[in-house]
């Protein structure tokens, strides 16, 4: 783990913590032009359950990006329609966490920052996903407090913010040559200080899940939470192939300090039992760290593993006693190497102009 100060203490821009107030969530609906084509019925059922959890259980508005608006409205006809915003746009995929607008606050005014999305380092087509935010802006749907950073490759899943100027991320992702070429941690800290108002950036040098296409996004490994808490993935089995790498990450987390010099409170979420791709036999990156914090719930991915699902639920409830923990079956999502947080992006009040 390494920590770098950005020198941005005088800036008045910040990235709110996920547990702060917001009023909408953005998702993108799977369709036959995506990698979901061969399992469309299964994944649409998952998205219906996710939409219900967002709107009914969490009480939020739902923005759905889709090239098939009438189909989506039919699938979601049982939800309160006043809470549903459907935006027609072509998409490559459904991982809005990584190409959706990143929430910022400028002098108390809510806004968004938009970065370039290149398919997790040119691994997959992203030409359509990279245009979604601009299409929303040009259609008048997105706030005019829009900060373009389209010359820099960055994904929302690569960042955790405590709302007070601390950013948690991973070296493997941010230093990847297929993102922004040769950059140093000092240069990155300076850039995020200028673009997002970060005062310091904490880099994790360890932590990896087999099957992860994102180059170790932090939202699959370690998540910031209220009370100077970090929930992280921990292997409780000595025979799991991830155990050593996750143990090294855990040691890094133990050495982290808050801005005031205190240790973080660490909560080790269980690593799910191994989930494998049925055709290739490849292990998939199942993780309970990929939860979404909403103002009144925590939406938690489940993997049909009763003991592990329950253990993760109890740990989340202890950290978020004021919120209901709502499980959403994400077995379908993990088949395309993502999970619940990857599929969602929170939107603060006023970001949607409807």
In a domain, 39, yes or no: yes
In a domain, 307, yes or no: yes
In a domain, 216, yes or no: yes
Report pLDDT digits (tens) over 104-114: 999 999 999 99
Q: How far from the centroid of its chain's Cα atoms is residue 309's Cα?
A: 20
In a domain, 354, yes or no: no
E strand map for the chain: 2-5, 13-14, 24-28, 61-66, 84-88, 102-106, 109-116, 146-153, 160-161, 166-170, 200-204, 222-225, 229-234, 265-270, 275-276, 283-284, 292-293, 297-302, 324-329, 345-347
pTM of structure = 0.96
E strand map for 71-195: 84-88, 102-106, 109-116, 146-153, 160-161, 166-170
Domain count, the chain: 1
Going by pLDDT thresholds of 50, 70 and 90, the confidence category of residue 5 is confident
Write the CATH number for 250. Answer: 3.75.10.10
What distances in angstroms separate CA 72 from CA 56, 170, 267, one per listed residue? 17, 35, 38
Range of the domain at 125: 2-347
Report pLDDT digits (tens) over 71-89: 999 999 999 999 999 999 9
Cβ atoms of residues 291 and 299 within 8 Å: yes
In a domain, 352, yes or no: no
Q: Which residue in 348, 245, 353, 354 sits closest to 17, CA to CA? A: 348
In a domain, 105, yes or no: yes
In a domain, 353, yes or no: no
Strands 324-329 and 297-302, sheet pairing? parallel
Q: What's the average model confidence in pLDDT over 295-307?
A: 98
In a domain, 80, yes or no: yes
Cβ atoms of residues 269 and 305 within 8 Å: no
**Average pLDDT, rounded, for the chain:** 96
């Amino acid at each position: 783990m390494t920590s770098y100060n950005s020198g941005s203490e005088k800036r008045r821009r910040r990235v709110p913590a996920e547990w702060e107030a917001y009023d909408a969530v953005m998702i993108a609906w799977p369709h036959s032009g995506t990698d979901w084509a061969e399992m469309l019925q299964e994944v649409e059922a998952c998205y219906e359950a996710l939409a219900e959890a967002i709107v009914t259980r969490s009480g939020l508005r739902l923005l759905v990006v889709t090239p098939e608006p009438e189909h989506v409205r039919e699938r979601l006809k049982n939800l309160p329609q006043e809470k549903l915003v459907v935006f027609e746009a072509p998409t490559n995929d459904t991982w809005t966490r990584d190409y959706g607008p990143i929430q910022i606050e400028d002098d108390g005014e809510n806004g968004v920052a938009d970065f370039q999305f290149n398919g997790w380092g040119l691994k997959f087509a992203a030409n359509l996903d990279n245009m979604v935010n601009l299409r929303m802006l040009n259609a008048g749907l997105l706030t005019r407090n829009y900060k373009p950073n389209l010359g820099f490759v960055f994904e929302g899943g690569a960042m955790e913010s405590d709302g007070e100027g601390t950013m948690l991320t991973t070296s493997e992702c941010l230093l990847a040559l297929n993102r922004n070429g040769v950059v140093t941690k000092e240069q990155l800290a300076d850039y995020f200080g200028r673009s997002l108002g970060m005062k310091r950036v904490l880099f994790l040098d360890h932590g990896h899940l087999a099957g992860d296409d994102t180059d170790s996004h932090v939202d699959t490994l370690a998540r910031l939470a209220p009370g100077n808490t970090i929930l992280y993935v921990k292997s409780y089995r000595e025979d799991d192939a991830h155990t050593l790498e996750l143990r090294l990450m855990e040691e890094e987390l133990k050495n982290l300090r808050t801005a005031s010099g205190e240790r973080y409170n660490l909560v080790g979420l269980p690593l799910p039992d191994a989930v494998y791709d049925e055709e290739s036999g490849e292990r998939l990156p199942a993780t309970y760290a990929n939860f979404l914090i909403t103002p009144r719930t925590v939406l938690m991915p489940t993997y049909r593993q009763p003991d592990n699902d329950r253990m993760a639920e109890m740990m989340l409830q202890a950290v978020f006693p004021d919120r209901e923990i709502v499980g959403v079956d994400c077995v379908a999502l993990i088949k395309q190497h993502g999970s619940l947080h990857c599929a969602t992006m929170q939107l603060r009040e006023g970001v949607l102009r409807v």
